[in-house]
Structure 1
């Protein structure tokens, strides 16, 4: 039985190995575009890569946009590549993560448009409802700064734990104030969380890693974030100063189009929630 709840307030993410797809980069023209004014956008494969590939194949030419999609399997390289100029934009992160990344890495990246919400969920092979977790149950959570806090907020919203008053968006298990069930927390890299389900009682998993592992957030999560007032909507980001790039503006228009909304609604059936303005 899946429940949907509103997160309290925290964030996302991890490390891995980059994988490029949909072609290689081109010579620089502007911050990262090719000599032919191709807009090069970095993305994680699901859902960002699929959404951008749909735009590239079905909408971009008519809109006068040349689009190239580069896919990454981690949450660090798309931002470093954007800062260094081998990308013109990226789509995969929410603003709390972007802010934390800028502060920790010294980058100058900005969000230009919200696109969709990939709700984080709790998954389990042992129970069908979070209330069925036994005393002392083991719960795996992401081990990165913003994502771990976001996962704990999801458990707070369901009343499983409380956090200390001064716990912020970077909360960790050390910030837990009350833990009535005595839950034990196992901190893992986000990409490893789906593989941990055989070894733990439950795991809080990022949407893209859940879908990569064949899990349906809408059907398989026993607890799922609500989209209402959710701060974790994924955004299209660029390097500061490129916000008014006409190519970026064309992509934003397409990302907010009725065609893309329908694509997201049809393909993900509630596992990813589209945003059309913001």
Structure 2
């Protein structure tokens, strides 16, 4: 019996060693796997492309997936189809988590994109006529951001002037009788020529070749609380690859790139 038992034990030991080796290799493969990041085209993808060679030298292969909406980048990270994303503000993330039952977390703040109001028909906000057609983003965070900007310039009055979740129902005064319509944020540059005023996120404005500092009739000031964050899941926030990406996004090289490329339309938050 012993004669047959020894070879069997040896075989099992070899198999166990093989499984252990496979698990170890799996860990190494995970550490060496590409880091996938979802981003909107401008300025997020441009910034990521700028630091891609830097990360490659640190052993991180960055794979950028470009999106033009604000929902899928979060859903795909939450569902573990992608590792992280870079496109959104803190208030937007908080609202998204609450509405979708997700638990995405902020890794680090990178930049601010001052939000603006644009028109193809008028060159100053004073020219806006009574009953003007105004479009704003249809998501709670950016919609309220648009209303807050209008309220700061006395075009409307809100029940709570600092409420970052204000809606059209919170308008208590509308002296110009503005007519509001809500559309998906990505659509707003496309309808700019059809309305009197459009409140547009800077990333979409830049993609549409609008210059926020020259073309916006109204724009947020430098004290804007809407910082754009690198975002991950709670379970991969401390992944060394994610931390290297966070460090690269807040490096002196990126600060210089943002200041040179966007001339104040995008501002470093670090």
| Separation of aligned partners in 2, 1:122 and 1:258 | 31
Shift of 1:269: 1.3
Q: How does 1:5-44 map to 2 (within 5 A)?
A: 36-44=32-40
| Separation of aligned partners in 2, 1:248 and 1:142 | 30
1:47 to 32, 43, 47: 43
Contact 1:109 1:238 in 2 (8 A): yes
Unaligned runs of 5+ in 1: 1-28
| Separation of aligned partners in 2, 1:202 and 1:167 | 22
Moved more, 125-134 or 34-43: 34-43
Shift of 1:168: 3.8
| Separation of aligned partners in 1, 2:250 and 2:58 | 13
Query: What corresponds to 2:207 in structure 1?
Result: 212
**Over the residues paired in the alignment, what is the CA RMSD in angstroms?**
1.9
Contact 2:55 2:61 in 1 (8 A): yes
Moved more, 122-131 or 160-169: 160-169
Unaligned runs of 5+ in 2: 1-25
Does residue 141 (structure 1) correspond to residue 108 (structure 2)? The answer is: no
| Separation of aligned partners in 2, 1:257 and 1:235 | 14
Contact 1:167 1:175 in 2 (8 A): no
Query: C-alpha deviations, 1:139-191, integer Å up to 9, x for none?
Result: 11111211111100000111111112398433222221011111111222212
Query: What corresponds to 2:81 in structure 1?
Result: 86
Shift of 1:243: 2.0
Q: How does 1:111-150 map to 2 (within 5 A)?
A: 111-150=106-145
1:259 to 245, 250, 253: 253
Q: How does 1:153-232 map to 2 (within 5 A)?
A: 153-165=148-160, 168-228=163-223, 230-232=224-226
- Bigger relative contact order, structure 1 or 2 (CA pairs below 8 A, ≥6 apart): 1
| Separation of aligned partners in 2, 1:165 and 1:149 | 11
Shift of 1:212: 1.5
Shift of 1:258: 0.8
| Separation of aligned partners in 1, 2:44 and 2:217 | 24
State which structure, 1 or 2, has the greater radius of gyration over its C-alpha atoms. 2
TM-score by length of 1: 0.83
| Separation of aligned partners in 2, 1:35 and 1:197 | 46
| Separation of aligned partners in 1, 2:127 and 2:134 | 13
Query: C-alpha deviations, 1:63-109, integer Å up to 9, x for none?
Result: 33221111111111111110111211110001111111111111110
Q: How does 1:93-112 map to 2 (within 5 A)?
A: 93-112=88-107
List 4+ stretches of structure 1 deviating above 3 A: 165-168
Moved more, 106-115 or 219-228: 219-228
Shift of 1:200: 1.2
